[in-house]
């Protein structure tokens, strides 16, 4: 075991603070990454406050990791020292189940998440990217283009793939009208991707202050969802709505905006259920409510390559590691445009 | 106007009783049908008791109608006097919207339902099949094969198409494992169709008394849904589950049985919403909850032809018109195998 260092939540109620923890030796298939940047995802906050339950403290959060390869195991053939590399929400999966075999490791029953997941190597839990280094099996490491600023690429590893994957799965493109609910870390990426895929994009937000930004990011129209008259104008007009809001809210107002066979896809996990949607809203237009979880490694690489080709990154605010607790407070108030990213060079400042 | 005669609910609380009402003259595109049999659908009961609200009394229910053509309008080219004919849940739609143009008239904003719908011809409401005769535009009349017993064909017009259509829409066939929830009028048809399409069929019922019947009807396995251990055996194993139960119930126990990308499709309309399903159950396997409404006229004809070819009919109990109120009482107790059909020759007995 080697020494690692990062920031951890020691329990569900106190601020994150410095944490020394072990890092495993690299195995033949492993890549050792010196972390440059780590995005701050709302699920980091859910987990450190144990809102999804199942927390094993201390937790070192962080699953939007960009770094540089500084050492590789003997069997590593996909990375070499000096490469820019990314790690997202997963660091392992069984590899043999139908989900893994079809490049959908995120749905495997044995997915090992990047933090707060049982770690077979150490017998402890996995520790994430709010840290100096991370060791990951090369199968779960992504190639990162040097064309884009790596700090702004970091959020693609979770916010990016979480929105890219459902838009691809539901074949969104030219000729489609797509709704995006919420303009946060996920929502702003959803707007960028849906626009890049050629769809007509309508952003639904509760915040009038976000109208201009929504348009700048690629929305053709921004609707204040608290205004029933404005919502009415979009009744039965959308093919697909990607709902990025994790707080419980009324799904029927969005179901009503879908055409026949339209799908309302949820990517936020609320700590309590949404109010139950009306069965009539499903039946009378053969609509559906679905969910989608991040994306597989192969698709994550495809998304990163697409972003490099189309010059797509997240809009970020770069912070020092020591500012993480204030960043959480601001995130809770949706006061971030649109993703905090930790500059890991500040870790030991 | 001509005189018609049938049974009607005069209000939401008293038994159905005889009702004289006007029947419109036939127009050029119309077919006049002497009704032989009419199925008794649970939605008849919902409507006469005004559980879905919007009732205009008196209501003559009935939308599973089999009869014989006794007169045709001057422009009718698809039917002639003496033909067996069927009428289902719809008697008109706009004909020009995208839904109508793609043979999905059931999703048209201007669908005229067979009863309790505004009737542009009379200025009253439409009256259904618990009656001597009905006049319907030929576009909404189905051809009925004489190979099958017409009484047992009647329920295909609603219970049949309501289950056939989603199984076809979601491409159910050989290699699929399909769950059917509930063994009533809809459920017993769903089992027959899913079996006929080559799927492995698992019936979920709360009633141990229905196990043998479920297997006779085509289920490969029957699971008592109140037994958690038996439910566990089917976790993450179904491609598709057709839920025919109209009473509010726990959807999560069925979502958990779906594989990745599986769909739980609701075809029953409860008077109150189901408890809200867990977002995690959707997201962690990219599952969906959808709804489906009857089927278009073209698909209804396809279904009737499929049934004639494969010798599929409903299991019915034939009743006299005067027994309708007792039949409703029994239907409420699920005491029917599996559909009441009114022998309309008893109407004026």
Structural domains in chain B (count): 2
pLDDT digit string (tens) for A200-246?
A: 999 999 999 999 999 999 999 999 999 999 999 999 999 999 999 99
pLDDT for the residue B129: 98
Residue A186, strand partner residues: none
Query: Which residues on chain A are in Cβ contact (under 8 Å) with B282?
Result: 266, 289-291
Flag whether B296 is in a domain. no
pLDDT at B272 over 90: no
Closest partner CB to A274 (pick from B104, B279, B283): B279
Q: Cβ of B104 and A269 within 8 Å?
A: no
Query: Rounded to an integer, what distance in angstroms lies between the CA atom of residue A102 and that of residue B261?
Result: 13
Q: Cβ of B260 and A284 within 8 Å?
A: no
Minimum distance, in Å, between the CA of residue A271 and any CA atom of chain B: 9
Query: Does ipTM top 0.85?
Result: yes
User: 């049908």: which residue's tokens?
Assistant: B33
pLDDT at B53 over 90: no
What residues in chain B have their Cβ under 8 A from chain A's Cβ atoms?
Answer: 98-99, 104, 107, 169, 260, 263, 266-270, 273-293
Are B145 and B226 in a shared domain? no
CATH number for A216: 3.40.50.720
Are A42 and A7 in a shared domain? yes
Query: Which residues on chain B are in Cβ contact (under 8 Å) with A285?
Result: 107
Neighbours of A78 (CB within 10 A): 14
Query: Which residues on chain B are in Cβ contact (under 8 Å) with A286?
Result: 107, 169, 290-293
3-state secondary structure (DSSP) of residue B191: helix
Q: Cβ of B266 and A283 within 8 Å?
A: yes
The mean pLDDT value of chain B amounts to 97
Of A340, A315, A314, give the one whose Cα is nearest residue A327. Answer: A340
Are A196 and A230 in a shared domain? yes
Query: Rounded to an integer, what distance in angstroms lies between the CA atom of residue A187 and that of residue A80?
Result: 34
Are B17 and B153 in a shared domain? yes
Q: What is the extent of the structural domain holding B33?
A: 2-158+314-346
Residue of A164, A286, A295, A299 to mutate, interface with B, max B Cβ within 10 Å:
A286
A-B CB pairs within 8 A amount to 97
Query: Element (H or E) spanning B162, and its range?
Result: helix B159-169
Are B61 and B121 in a shared domain? yes
Flag whether A204 is in a domain. yes
Contact in structure between B243 and B267 (CB atoms under 8 Å): yes
pLDDT digit string (tens) for B167-197?
A: 999 999 999 999 999 999 999 999 999 999 9
pLDDT for the residue A53: 87
Are B125 and B9 in a shared domain? yes
Q: Cβ of A270 and B287 within 8 Å?
A: no
pLDDT digit string (tens) for B111-152?
A: 999 999 999 999 999 999 999 999 999 999 999 999 999 999
Query: Which residues on chain A are in Cβ contact (under 8 Å) with B274?
Result: 276, 279
Contact in structure between B280 and B161 (CB atoms under 8 Å): no
Closest partner CB to A288 (pick from B267, B273, B289): B289
Minimum distance, in Å, between the CA of residue A52 and any CA atom of chain B: 10
pLDDT for the residue B27: 96
pLDDT at B52 over 90: no
Contact in structure between A193 and A186 (CB atoms under 8 Å): no
Query: Which residues on chain B are in Cβ contact (under 8 Å) with A43?
Result: none
CATH number for A109: 3.90.180.10
Query: Which residues on chain A are in Cβ contact (under 8 Å) with B285?
Result: 107
Q: Write the secondary structure of B10-41 as one string of H (helix), E (strand) and C (coil).
A: CCCCCCCEEEEEEECCCCCCEEEEEEEEEEEC
Q: Cβ of B273 and A274 within 8 Å?
A: no
Closest partner CB to B107 (pick from A281, A286, A292): A286
pLDDT band at B15 (very low <50, low <70, confident <90, very high): very high
Q: What is the DSSP letter of B289?
A: E
Query: Which residues on chain A are in Cβ contact (under 8 Å) with B107?
Result: 260, 284-286
pLDDT at B1 over 80: no
Query: Which residues on chain B are in Cβ contact (under 8 Å) with A282?
Result: 266, 289-291
Are A274 and A332 in a shared domain? no
CB neighbour list of residue B115: distance below 8 Å, 6 or more residues apart: B47, B59, B60, B61, B62, B63, B125, B126, B127, B128, B129
Flag whether A307 is in a domain. no
Query: Which residues on chain A are in Cβ contact (under 8 Å) with B268?
Result: 279
Closest partner CB to B263 (pick from A99, A270, A288): A288
Q: Cβ of A290 and B293 within 8 Å?
A: no
Q: What is the DSSP letter of B75?
A: T
Closest partner CB to A269 (pick from B98, B269, B279): B279
Of B125, B149, B136, B225, give the one whose Cα is nearest residue B182. Answer: B225
Neighbours of A140 (CB within 10 A): 21
Q: Which residues of B261-291 are buried (b: 16+ CB within 10 A; e: fewer)?
A: ebbbbbbbbbeeebebbbbbbbbbbbbbbbb
pLDDT at B45 over 80: yes
Are A39 and A79 in a shared domain? yes
Q: Cβ of B268 and A279 within 8 Å?
A: yes
Are B190 and B268 in a shared domain? yes
Minimum distance, in Å, between the CA of residue B93 and any CA atom of chain A: 14
pLDDT for the residue B290: 98
Q: Cβ of A277 and B276 within 8 Å?
A: yes
Closest partner CB to B273 (pick from A260, A278, A292): A278
pLDDT for the residue B163: 98
pLDDT for the residue A307: 98
Q: Measured between alpha carbons, how far is residue B89 from residues B44, B139, B161, B162 in Å? A: 11, 13, 10, 10
Contact in structure between B94 and B102 (CB atoms under 8 Å): no
Question: Per-residue pLDDT averaged across B317-343, rounded?
Answer: 96
Tokens of A265: 């896809």
Closest partner CB to A280 (pick from B269, B281, B288): B269
pLDDT digit string (tens) for B24-40?
A: 999 999 999 999 999 99
pLDDT for the residue A343: 98
Query: Rounded to an integer, what distance in angstroms lies between the CA atom of residue B68 and that of residue B138?
Result: 13
Flag whether A298 is in a domain. no
pLDDT for the residue A349: 72
Are A195 and A106 in a shared domain? no
pLDDT at B287 over 80: yes
Closest partner CB to A266 (pick from B104, B283, B291): B283
Closest partner CB to B276 (pick from A104, A275, A288): A275
Minimum distance, in Å, between the CA of residue A320 and any CA atom of chain B: 32
Are A151 and A171 in a shared domain? no
Closest partner CB to B99 (pick from A260, A263, A293): A260
Minimum distance, in Å, between the CA of residue A259 and any CA atom of chain B: 10
Query: Which residues on chain A are in Cβ contact (under 8 Å) with B260?
Result: 98-99, 104, 107
pLDDT at B349 over 80: no
Closest partner CB to A282 (pick from B98, B169, B266): B266
pLDDT at B214 over 90: yes
Are B40 and B137 in a shared domain? yes
* Chain center to CA of A265: 15
Flag whether B254 is in a domain. yes
Contact in structure between B64 and B158 (CB atoms under 8 Å): yes
CB neighbour list of residue A160: distance below 8 Å, 6 or more residues apart: A189, A193, A303, A304, A307, A314
Of B71, B55, B40, B47, give the one whose Cα is nearest residue B134. Answer: B71
Q: Write the secondary structure of chain A as one string of H (helix), E (strand) and C (coil).
A: CEEEEEEEECCCCCCCEEEEEEECCCCCCEEEEEEEEEEECHHHHHHHCCCCCCCCCCECCCCCEEEEEEEECCCCCCCCCCCEEEECCEEECCCCCHHHHCCCHHHCCCCEECCCCECCCCCCECCCCCECEEEEEHHHCEECCCCCCHHHHHHHHCHHHHHHHHHHHCCCCCCCEEEEECCCHHHHHHHHHHHHCCCEEEEEECCHHHHHHHHHHCCCEEEECCCHHHHHCCCCCEEEEEECCCCCCCCHHHHCCEEEEEEEEECCCCCCCCCCCCHHHHHCCCCEEEECCCCCHHHHHHHHHHHHHHCCCCCEEEEEHHHHHHHHHHHHCCCCCCEEEEEHHHCCC
pLDDT for the residue B288: 98
Flag whether A300 is in a domain. no
pLDDT for the residue B31: 98
Minimum distance, in Å, between the CA of residue B330 and any CA atom of chain A: 26
Peptide bond into B338 cis (omega under 30): yes
Minimum distance, in Å, between the CA of residue A294 and any CA atom of chain B: 9
pLDDT at B107 over 80: yes
pLDDT for the residue A272: 87
3-state secondary structure (DSSP) of residue B326: helix
**Domain limit, last residue, from B291, B306, B338:** B291
Q: Cβ of B276 and A280 within 8 Å?
A: no
Flag whether A304 is in a domain. no
Minimum distance, in Å, between the CA of residue B278 and any CA atom of chain A: 6
Flag whether B302 is in a domain. no
Residue of B282, B287, B295 to mutate, interface with A, max A Cβ within 10 Å:
B282
CB neighbour list of residue B298: distance below 8 Å, 6 or more residues apart: B103
Query: Which residues on chain B are in Cβ contact (under 8 Å) with A292?
Result: 283, 286
pLDDT band at B270 (very low <50, low <70, confident <90, very high): confident
Query: Rounded to an integer, what distance in angstroms lies between the CA atom of residue A22 and that of residue A3?
Result: 5
Q: Cβ of A107 and B292 within 8 Å?
A: no
Nearest CA in chain A to B245: A279
Tens-level pLDDT at each residue, chain A (349 residues): 789 999 999 999 999 999 999 999 999 999 999 999 999 999 999 999 998 888 999 999 999 999 999 999 999 999 999 999 999 999 999 999 999 999 999 999 999 999 999 999 999 999 999 999 999 999 999 999 999 999 999 999 999 999 999 999 999 999 999 999 999 999 999 999 999 999 999 999 999 999 999 999 999 999 999 999 999 999 999 999 999 999 999 999 999 999 999 999 999 988 889 999 999 999 999 999 999 999 999 999 999 999 999 999 999 999 999 999 999 999 999 899 999 999 999 998 7
């Amino acid at each position: 075991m080697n020494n690692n260092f990062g920031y951890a939540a020691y329990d569900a109620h106190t601020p994150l603070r410095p944490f020394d923890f072990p890092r495993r030796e690299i195995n033949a298939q492993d890549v050792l990454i010196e972390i440059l940047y780590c995005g701050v995802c709302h699920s980091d906050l859910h987990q450190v406050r144990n809102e999804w339950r199942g927390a094993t403290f201390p937790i070192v959060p962080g699953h939007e990791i960009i770094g540089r390869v500084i050492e590789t195991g003997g069997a590593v053939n996909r990375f070499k020292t000096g490469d820019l590399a990314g790690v997202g929400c997963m660091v392992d999966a069984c590899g043999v189940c139908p989900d893994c075999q079809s490049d959908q490791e995120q749905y495997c029953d044995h997915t090992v998440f990047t933090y707060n997941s049982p770690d077979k190597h150490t017998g402890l839990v996995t520790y994430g990217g709010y840290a100096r280094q991370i060791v990951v099996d090369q199968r779960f490491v992504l190639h990162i283009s040097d064309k884009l600023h790596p700090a702004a690429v970091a959020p693609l590893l979770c916010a990016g793939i979480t929105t890219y994957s459902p838009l691809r799965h539901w074949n969104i493109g030219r000729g489609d009208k797509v709704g995006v609910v919420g303009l946060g870390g996920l929502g702003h990426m959803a707007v960028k991707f849906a626009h890049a895929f050629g769809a007509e994009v309508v952003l639904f937000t509760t915040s009038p202050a976000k109208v201009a930004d929504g348009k700048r990011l690629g929305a053709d129209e921004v609707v204040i969802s608290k205004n029933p008259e404005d919502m009415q104008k979009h009744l039965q007009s959308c093919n697909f709505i990607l709902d990025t809001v994790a707080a419980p809210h009324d799904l029927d107002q969005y179901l009503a905006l879908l055409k026949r066979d339209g799908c309302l896809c949820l990517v936020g996990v609320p700590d309590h259920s949404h109010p139950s949607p009306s069965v009539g809203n499903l039946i009378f237009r053969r609509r559906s409510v679905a969910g989608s979880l991040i994306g597989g490694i192969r698709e994550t690489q495809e998304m990163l390559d697409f972003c490099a080709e189309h010059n797509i990154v997240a809009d970020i605010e770069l912070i020092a590691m020591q500012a993480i607790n204030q960043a959480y407070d601001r995130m809770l108030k949706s006061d971030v445009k649109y993703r905090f990213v930790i500059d890991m060079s500040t870790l030991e400042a």
